[in-house]
């Protein structure tokens, strides 16, 4: 029998969209290490390291802090299936695709969902959450910290205070903020949160870090009904990550290595330096885009450092331009989602990818794409504006 299948040779893409982002080369090397068993003492030590490093990036002391097997959406599902029982009242804030996904997941877990809507590209106002909480008296409020579909960074402290006063849980989606933007679980009073490895942690998709404080944990351990998902049931999984080390499912070993390495990279850089880097590169990118005639999509002053959204300029075609960038320069950018489809581009500068070199590369490639399409653009205007930001930092 002949072998019709060619050797696997994925292109070396620069992933400047909404995720996945490029993994740090150290992470990819760690993944090539030999496998050990999932109850091997060496792997148990790696799990312990991952728990304590995750506490560092989540800025929490929560004991129940670990990585679920699956992508960011598995983290979302973990939080809802464990905290919600059929008939529970839940308030979900929706100003983009991921808020909408939370509504769907919460409803499938049996929640009676009340939605607090805000226009896409805007934050959720705390006063709106307060109104909903007062009338619904929910068991929990769920909100997205970094809305990757719109590029909004949601302030959380005021909403947390509202939840404390009403004695309901606050659940936060930190998928595109963790490792790129400040996430202070304890200081901000967040009861449960989840993330994913493939965005600002610069690790391949495959694990979903989660953290629950004691209040949330007590809610899980006092459930009347079994958790509807066997695979994501924390009442069982906490016994694998805890002292007992009970077998539940086989941990994805190589992803465990990858997570440890990406968290080590973050620990070495330090959170403050990492957040400052994301901010600076986002500022430079935004300056460059504006100089090239782009208008930003997300609300001024609430723009996310890890993901910038901009309206596609007049006379530029969405799909063919993105295809051009991919085929000619190996650069992936994100198209719009939901309401922004065909109208907005999403530029991710996440983790390892948030660099001056990538900002200048992206602006140059965009200018080239415009020139090839016959759109007039002042040569070098984007680069010059970005460099101005770097020179003045
Ligand atoms: C990417 C993302 C998710 C889903 O993560 P997957 O890894 O795609 O499953 C959830 N929430 C937000 C805000 C995201 O950006």
Q: Which atom belonging to ligand 1 lies closest to the Cα atom of 149?
A: 15
Of 215, 242, 268, the residue that ends a domain is 268
What's the Cα-to-Cα distance from 152 to each of 120, 181, 207, 285, 300, rounded to whole Å? 9, 12, 24, 16, 9
**Whether residues 263 and 375 fall in one domain:** no
Give me ligand 1 centre to Cα 387, in Å.
Answer: 32
CATH code of the domain containing 197: 3.40.640.10
Q: Which of 204, 277, 275, 267 is nearest to 22 (CA)?
A: 204
Dist CA 131 CA 321 (whole Å) = 44
Dist CA 176 CA 174 (whole Å) = 6
What's the Cα-to-Cα distance from 153 to each of 162, 179, 292, 306, 310, rounded to whole Å? 19, 14, 24, 9, 15
Nearest-CA residue for atom 3 of ligand 1? 72
Q: Which atom belonging to ligand 1 lies closest to the Cα atom of 205?
A: 7
| Ligand 1 pocket by Cβ (under 6 Å) | 19, 71-73, 76, 98, 144, 146, 148, 173, 175-176, 196, 198, 205
Give me ligand 1 centre to Cα 196, in Å.
Answer: 7
**Whether residues 118 and 229 fall in one domain:** yes
**Whether residues 308 and 330 fall in one domain:** yes
pLDDT of amino acid 1: 56
Q: Is 24 helix (H, G, I), strand (E, B) or coil?
A: coil
Give me ligand 1 centre to Cα 100, in Å.
Answer: 12
Candidate of 72, 173, 205 to mutate for ligand 1, largest count of ligand atoms within 8 Å of Cβ: 72
- Taking only the tens place, the pLDDT of each residue in 95-127 is 999 999 999 999 999 999 999 999 999 999 999
Give me ligand 1 centre to Cα 295, in Å.
Answer: 25
CB neighbours of residue 393 within 10 Å:
11
Tokens standing for residue 1: 């029998």
Are the C-beta atoms of residues 370 and 362 closer than 8 Å to each other? no
Are the C-beta atoms of residues 178 and 53 closer than 8 Å to each other? no
CATH code of the domain containing 376: 3.90.1150.10
Place of tokens 């109208």: 343
Q: Does residue 319 lie in a domain region? A: yes
Nearest-CA residue for atom 8 of ligand 1? 72
- Taking only the tens place, the pLDDT of each residue in 141-150 is 999 999 999 9
For 28, how many CA atoms within 13 A lie in the half-sphere containing its CB? Answer: 6
**Whether residues 220 and 290 fall in one domain:** no
Residues 6 or more apart whose CB falls under 8 angstroms from that of 150 comprise: 95, 96, 120, 121, 297, 298, 309, 340
**Whether residues 293 and 364 fall in one domain:** yes
Q: Is 365 helix (H, G, I), strand (E, B) or coil?
A: helix
The radius of gyration of the chain's CA atoms, rounded to the nearest angstrom, is 22
Give me ligand 1 centre to Cα 39, in Å.
Answer: 29
**Whether residues 326 and 250 fall in one domain:** no
Q: Does residue 93 lie in a domain region? A: yes
Q: Does residue 348 lie in a domain region? A: yes
Task: Give the number of domains in the chain.
Answer: 2
Tokens standing for residue 364: 């140059």
Give me ligand 1 centre to Cα 354, in Å.
Answer: 19
pLDDT of amino acid 2: 63
DSSP calls for 201-255? T-S-S-EEEEEE-HHHHHHHHT-SS--S-STT-HHHHHHHHSSS----S---HHH
Q: Which atom belonging to ligand 1 lies closest to the Cα atom of 96?
A: 13
Q: Does residue 66 lie in a domain region? A: yes
C-alpha 311: how far from chain center:
22
The parts of the chain modelled with pLDDT lower than 70 are 1-2
Q: Which of 67, 76, 85, 135 is nearest to 104 (CA)?
A: 76
Q: Is 138 exposed, middle or buried (0-12, 13-18, 19+ CB in 10 A)?
A: buried
Of 268, 283, 304, the residue that ends a domain is 268
Q: Which atom belonging to ligand 1 lies closest to the Cα atom of 70?
A: 9
Q: Does residue 15 lie in a domain region? A: no
Whether residue 20 is preceded by a cis peptide bond, meaning omega within 30 degrees of 0, is: yes
**Whether residues 191 and 320 fall in one domain:** no
**Whether residues 297 and 282 fall in one domain:** yes
Give me ligand 1 centre to Cα 244, in Å.
Answer: 31
Are the C-beta atoms of residues 120 and 340 closer than 8 Å to each other? yes
**Whether residues 188 and 41 fall in one domain:** yes
For 239, how many CA atoms within 13 A lie in the half-sphere containing its CB? Answer: 9
Give me ligand 1 centre to Cα 73, in Å.
Answer: 6
pLDDT of amino acid 359: 98
Q: Is 361 exposed, middle or buried (0-12, 13-18, 19+ CB in 10 A)?
A: middle
DSSP calls for 254-306? HHHHHHHHHHHHHHHH-HHHHHHHHHHHHHHHHHHHHHTT-EE-SPTT-B-TT
Q: Does residue 13 lie in a domain region? A: no
The domain containing residue 48 runs over which residues? Answer: 25-268
**Whether residues 94 and 216 fall in one domain:** yes
How many residues are there in the chain?
393
Candidate of 15, 17, 18, 19 to mutate for ligand 1, largest count of ligand atoms within 8 Å of Cβ: 19
108 is in an annotated binding site: no
**Whether residues 105 and 29 fall in one domain:** yes
Q: Does residue 143 lie in a domain region? A: yes
Tokens standing for residue 26: 């150290």
Candidate of 19, 175, 308 to mutate for ligand 1, largest count of ligand atoms within 8 Å of Cβ: 175
Of 268, 301, 332, the residue that ends a domain is 268
**Whether residues 185 and 316 fall in one domain:** no
Q: Does residue 6 lie in a domain region? A: no
Q: Is 71 helix (H, G, I), strand (E, B) or coil?
A: coil
Strand order of the sheet with strand 334-335? Answer: 295-296, 307-311, 344-348, 334-335
Dist CA 94 CA 128 (whole Å) = 11
């Amino acid at each position: 029998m002949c072998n019709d299948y060619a050797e696997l040779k994925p292109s070396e893409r620069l992933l400047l969209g909404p995720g996945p982002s490029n993994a740090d080369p150290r992470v990819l090397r760690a993944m090539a290490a030999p496998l050990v068993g999932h109850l091997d003492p060496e792997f148990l030590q790696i799990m312990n390291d991952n728990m304590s490093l995750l506490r560092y990036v989540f800025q929490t002391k929560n004991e129940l802090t670990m990585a679920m097997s699956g992508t960011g959406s598995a983290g979302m599902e973990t939080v809802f299936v464990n905290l919600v029982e059929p008939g529970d009242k839940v308030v979900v804030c929706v100003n983009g695709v991921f808020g909408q996904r939370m509504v769907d997941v919460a409803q499938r877990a049996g929640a009676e969902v009340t939605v607090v809507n805000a226009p896409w590209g805007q934050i959720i106002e705390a006063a709106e959450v307060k109104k909903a909480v007062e009338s619904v008296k929910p068991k929990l409020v769920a909100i997205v910290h970094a809305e990757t579909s719109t590029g909004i960074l949601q302030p959380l402290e005021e909403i947390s205070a509202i939840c404390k006063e009403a004695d309901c849980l606050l659940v936060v989606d930190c998928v595109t903020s963790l490792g790129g933007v400040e996430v202070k679980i304890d200081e901000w009073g967040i009861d449960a949160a989840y993330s994913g490895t493939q965005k600002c942690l610069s690790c391949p998709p495959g694990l979903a870090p989660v953290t629950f404080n004691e209040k949330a944990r007590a809610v899980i351990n006092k459930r009347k009904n079994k958790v509807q998902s066997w695979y994501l049931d924390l009442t069982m999984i906490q016994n694998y990550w805890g002292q007992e080390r009970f077998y539940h499912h086989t941990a994805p070993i190589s992803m465990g290595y990858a997570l440890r390495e990406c968290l080590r990279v973050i620990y070495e850089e330090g959170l403050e330096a990492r957040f400052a880097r994301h901010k600076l590169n986002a500022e430079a990118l935004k300056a460059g885009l504006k100089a090239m005639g782009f208008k930003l999509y997300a609300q001024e002053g609430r723009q996310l450092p890890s993901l910038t959204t901009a309206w596609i300029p007049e006379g530029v075609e969405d799909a063919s331009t993105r295809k051009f960038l991919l085929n000619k320069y190996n650069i992936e950018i994100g198209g719009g989602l939901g309401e922004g489809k065909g109208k907005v581009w999403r530029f991710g500068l996440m983790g390892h990818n948030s660099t001056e070199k990538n900002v200048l590369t992206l602006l140059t490639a965009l200018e080239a794409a415009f020139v090839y399409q016959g759109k007039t653009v002042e040569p070098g205007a984007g680069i010059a504006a970005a460099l101005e930001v770097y020179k003045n930092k």
